[in-house]
Amino acid sequence: MQDKVEAQPILSMNSVEVLYDNVMLAIKGVSVQVPKGEMIALLGSNGAGKSTTLKAISGLLKAERGRVSRGEIKFEGTDITDMLAQNRVAQGICHVIEGRRVFEHLTPEENLTAAAPSGMSRSTLNVEKEKIYNYFPRLAERRNSLSGYLSGGEQQMLAIGRALVTQPKLLMLDEPSLGLAPFLVAEIFGILQKINKEDGMSVLLVEQNALAALEIVSEGYLIENGRVVMNGTAAALKANSDIQEFYLGAGEGTDFHNVKHYSRRKRWLS
Amino acid sequence: MDWIFLSELAINGALTGLLYSLFAIGLVLIYKASSVPNLAQAGLTMVGAYVVLALARDLGLPLWLAIPIGAVLMFGLGFGIERVALRRLAGRPVVMILMMTLGLDIFLRGTTLAIWGGTSRSMELGVSYEPLFLGDIFLSRIHVVGAAVAIALFVAFMLFFRTRTGIKLRAIADDYMASWSVGISVERGVGLSWALASVVAMAAGVIWGEIQGVDQALSLLLLKGLTVAVLGGLDSILGAVVAGILLGIIENVGADFLDPIVGGGSRELIVAAVLILTVMIRPHGLFGRHDIERV
Ligand SMILES: Nc1ncnc2c1ncn2[C@@H]1O[C@H](COP(=O)(O)OP(=O)(O)OP(=O)(O)O)[C@@H](O)[C@H]1O
Ligand SMILES: [Mg+2]
């Protein structure tokens, strides 16, 4: 399966289990490796444990009363399993969380400023901002309007831009394509590819839109019920009949998202 | 209609109102960061007043030294309170955090009572009691000084919220999870808002202590301060200032009309009416933000 063997992965997650509220076992021994400079996809349907996996890596579990109860997570060889989220960002891991949560009452300009590491000089910050506005010219046009009023696509671009300000070595994105028109998805994925190539930034991409994701990544993992059930190169996954049937099937896009919202609502009510 | 008398009522009302704003700004700072109205703001105000009294009267420091030292102590106290009492409540229902601030208020007030006793002491800032004349209008000097402090703090905070630290605080007010995700220390930010609110509480305590003496009655300011904060929108510093001026004018002018009719005591009724009507008609106040809804 694993044809590409790198010297040392930038991220390596070994048999990680996550418990929410000390009772709810959300992922059950997930192992994921992200080779340095590669783009990797994490696929799977609703409730599979994709977001939980990202939160375990970024340290955002704590905010949701979750914890890693078994296994270890290493970033550039250092154990980060119990590190504070803010220190992981400083180490170079940034997580673009699900649902494009921009700071709505701040302008895009201020969103970028808010994410600046405390030690970053004003001039470096300005260089970073210009770089981001170059990647996403739409943001530049609206840099001084309230972010809450941006369109969905612009907000997703801002959420990614905001993460880039932290100068991540590993960028993790949780369903960035959700609810966006295909041409926007293509634009955003194109930029990700470009940054990956030019700056060597590694990417871990969570997607339900397997079709789009497998176009840009080199390798993918399929998660079901909190377990990795498949792992291989993008080409191998695309050729796999199960994947074709369940994730690349016709009319996938919109249906998927309806299902998602439905299950989301159910989760809130329960 | 005596216009000079009416404008005197209005202007003095506005000045008093700005002193309510001084109190309300502290409430707003904490509300922005933690979405909870801090009932301990009254306790902090009393502690602030007593700390300055202790430094100036008991230790004999000059006021220009006692006030900055007091501010540093209050800053530390605010940070400490967040660290010890509130951080562990993160993620709990807001009503629990509200109850905690109530407990803190009782604790802080009890502490001042235990240390400094219940007799009223005077602040003695050295502001003259001679009225100030604005044309034919009488103004109280201490009220003018207090209003100036309130406006200075307002301007300072408007500038602060444009700095990088200030922007991070506003980001925290918007979304904890997103803040964590880009490495902002939400805990430190909330601590900072408590620290700043405690310093503002000291300013209110010193001014109000000069006006009505330093004793347990200072804690009654909470009612008017809370009314101003709610009218202003709870999370808007500008709102706290505008609402303070507004409430002060309504209270002063309204009481002059109503007192002869109801035979005194109408101030409380007016404040209560403003609070109740705000909550009923305009729950997010004059400048409060409501969640952005895109059409
Ligand atoms: N905060 C939480 N507390 C308790 N259980 C949770 C929490 N978050 C997620 N879960 C549960 O953990 C499991 C995995 O959820 P997760 O959000 O990781 O799935 P996902 O693959 O990201 O799904 P989706 O595609 O819907 O975002 C689900 O069963 C979910 O109900
Ligand atoms: Mg998810």
* CB A170, CB A128: distance < 8 Å: no
How close is the nearest chain A Cα to the Cα of B133, in Å?
Answer: 43
Q: Give the single-character DSSP code of A38.
A: -
% chain B with pLDDT above 70: 98
* CB A22, CB A186: distance < 8 Å: no
- Atom 1, ligand 1: which residue's CA is nearest? A64
How close is the nearest chain A Cα to the Cα of B181, in Å?
Answer: 6
Q: Which of A105, A132, A143, A154 best probes binding to B when mutated, by most B CB atoms within 10 angstroms?
A: A105
CB under 8 Å, gap of 24 or more: what pairs does B92-101 form? B94/B35, B94/B36, B97/B34, B97/B36, B98/B36, B98/B37, B98/B39, B101/B36, B101/B37, B101/B38, B101/B39, B101/B40
> Residue A262 pLDDT > 50, yes or no?
no
- Taking residues A126-147, report their average pLDDT: 96
CA–CA distance, B16 with B176 (Å, rounded to integer): 36
Q: Where are the domains of chain B?
A: 3-220
* CB B30, CB B193: distance < 8 Å: yes
pLDDT of residue A87: 96
* CB A106, CB A162: distance < 8 Å: no
> Residue A252 pLDDT > 50, yes or no?
no
Residue reference for tokens 């994105």:
A173
Q: Does A96 touch chain B (CB under 8 A)?
A: yes
Closest CA to A47 of A259, A255, A269, A270: A259
Q: Does A83 touch chain B (CB under 8 A)?
A: no
> Residue A268 pLDDT > 50, yes or no?
no
Reading the block at residue A128, the tokens are 């970073």
* CB B266, CB B254: distance < 8 Å: yes
Q: How confident is the model over B229-256, as pLDDT tens digits?
A: 999 999 999 999 999 999 999 999 999 9
Closest CA to B178 of A196, A41, A148, A220: A148
> Residue A179 pLDDT > 60, yes or no?
yes
What single string gives the DSSP state of each residue in B158-186? HHHTTSHHHHHHHHHHH-HHHHHHTT--H
pLDDT of residue B75: 98
- Atom 16, ligand 1: which residue's CA is nearest? A49
* CB B23, CB B183: distance < 8 Å: no
Closest CA to A81 of A61, A97, A96: A61
Q: For all residues of chain A together, what is the average pLDDT? A: 88
Burial class, A82, CB count within 10 angstroms (exposed 0-12 / middle 13-18 / buried 19+) = exposed
> How far is Cα of residue B156 from the mean position of the Cα atoms in its chain?
15
Residue A144's contacts (CB-CB under 8 Å, 6 or more residues apart) are: A107, A108, A109
pLDDT of residue B295: 42
- Which residues form the pocket of ligand 1, taking CB atoms under 6 Å from any ligand atom? A 20-21, 24, 26, 44, 46-52, 64, 98, 208, 260, 267
ipTM of the complex: 0.88
- Taking residues A234-262, report their average pLDDT: 60
What domains does chain A contain, in order, with CATH numbers? 9-92+168-269 (3.40.50.300), 103-167 (no CATH)
* Region of B274 on the Ramachandran plot (φ > 0 left; ψ -120 to 50 alpha; else beta): alpha
CA–CA distance, B36 with B15 (Å, rounded to integer): 27
> Residue A6 pLDDT > 70, yes or no?
no
Question: What are the backbone angles phi and psi of residue B175, rounded to the nearest 5°?
Answer: -165, 105
B39: helix, coil or strand? coil
Instruction: With a cut of 50, list the residues of chain B below it in pLDDT.
Output: 294-295
Distance B104 CA to ligand 2 centre (A): 39
Alpha helices per DSSP H over A166-251: 182-199, 210-216, 234-239, 241-246
* HSE-CB of A94 using CA atoms within 13 angstroms: 25
B-chain residues within 8 Å CB-CB of A91?
Answer: none
pLDDT of residue B292: 56
CA–CA distance, A49 with A39 (Å, rounded to integer): 19
Alpha helices per DSSP H over chain B: 3-34, 41-53, 63-81, 94-116, 141-160, 164-174, 176-181, 186-212, 221-232, 237-262, 266-281
CA–CA distance, B269 with B290 (Å, rounded to integer): 28
B-chain residues within 8 Å CB-CB of A111?
Answer: 171
Distance B38 CA to ligand 1 centre (A): 34
Closest CA to A192 of A168, A227, A222: A168
Which chain A residue has its CA at the smallest distance from B171's CA?
Answer: A103
Burial class, A90, CB count within 10 angstroms (exposed 0-12 / middle 13-18 / buried 19+) = middle
pLDDT of residue B74: 98
Q: How confident is the model over B162-185, as pLDDT tens digits?
A: 999 999 999 999 999 999 999 999
> Residue A116 pLDDT > 80, yes or no?
yes
Reading the block at residue B241, the tokens are 């200032």
Name residue A145's amino acid.
S
Element (H or E) spanning B217, and its range?
none
Q: Which of B89, B161, B179, B182 best probes binding to A when mutated, by most A CB atoms within 10 angstroms?
A: B182
